[in-house]
Structure 1
């Protein structure tokens, strides 16, 4: 059912817009036929955007669910604990000091996300044995502190940019699918194709970790190594996606809890589908519901995520996804 909803939204993203694309003509173009005026709209504009939205939502949904499940905290998503801000800081540094764009910007953003995660891991001691609750809480608190520092760094860097470069950086930091291309589809698709199977292999170990460190150790699991491996896979998924689309606010944060509410338990496949639905819906809404004004998808996801965060804090202030 979730797959059908995602497929329907991908099709809607291709068909709906200005101008509208008839279904039969879209199918002919996708099938390889050249239709004057429609082929460019479908194959070079809307279809790559829809595929990037699908892949980005999947990656964010999985990344957020790993963090929330592993750290037993519904607030522990990459955008809350600083990973996406690290990727953003890397990109802004590239813009401020190297006038970078395109492929160079991508690598700087990826490096920023990975270095941020390594810093949090080192300070929080996630690679050392210890009480699960203490390590989990430490990781979240350190992440929030690092996020605050990165936010200040980004503000400083933006003040050093020219008006044009600052505007470009701000547009990227909002999170947008407007620059989606088949090259970006290939980059993000390759990353998802490698990292999702790696995560699937680690999910069984994650379920053992949820039994507690002592039980997991008695079952022969290396708790520190497993925890670090899961975090690095989740961080790489998130950082790669931020490098391609910018930081789409709250997608990673929303996907896991919504999937849990729908399934009654943590579900990685459903979280991936929910993430894809959120990004596709946000992009559809931003491009079509505000007249001549086209809003980036990140604006819409931010507007959805903020009230959900407040609702979660008031409804389940001590909720933990591991229970």
Structure 2
């Protein structure tokens, strides 16, 4: 065998060893020290396509320094790293397929303090081919009382999760659904072209949805039924139009309010909970109301704006 080819072969074998599953696991755990632990059963990152297949993976952040506590595990994950985007300073995971994923997340640091650590929108993205049989349990200890919500039966097909703007996944999935809290249900999807879509939300109160139960208003005890259609103008702007329906006890009549507004996603480079509250604020401000309800929602929206640190 010619020497150059032999040299390339040994180089490939050496590099593949450095990218092998056991070696990467050992290296990551040594570097991370006590900040987090990482385990997976995988051959590693396979060259030349940077493919990854793993089974029974676990990631654990113990919160040693007062940070958030995260315990995530799954039975299967498959993806490919985009080699070309690495040279552009972007980390893009393509063809992500996840099964039986569960995460317990305890939030101990105020979300506003995390904003500066978020990557810029578009820098780190997960192109989700399929996510199924997954769930997330969230406990937010930064709120009083402590806020808890369970997200069950997560299903996503052909979605995009941006680490810098995670809320967008609700509007950039071919199909998605999940159960929220006790009775909440979210369904979302886009048409074939991807620039138009819909989202429906039902069976949950504003208090449960956004951790706003502390606000002593009857509005936040009412069930939310939201139906909206959206249209992506470009990669940065989306228009929303729909109807907001409030239902209380059986004796009360339902209240229906139309709304229409647009957002610039560059303003939503925020953690998921803050971005959700900001979107709710925009919805409240643009819902066509009159009288006491209008003043109430506008007051709440201004309160959320202050919470988000806006002028």
Normalised by the shorter chain, which TM-score bucket? under 0.3
Higher strand share: 2
Per the normalisation by structure 1, the TM-score is 0.22
Higher helix proportion (structure 1 or 2) = 1
TM-score (norm 2): 0.22
Answer 1 or 2: higher relative contact order, Cα 8 Å, separation at least 6.
Answer: 1
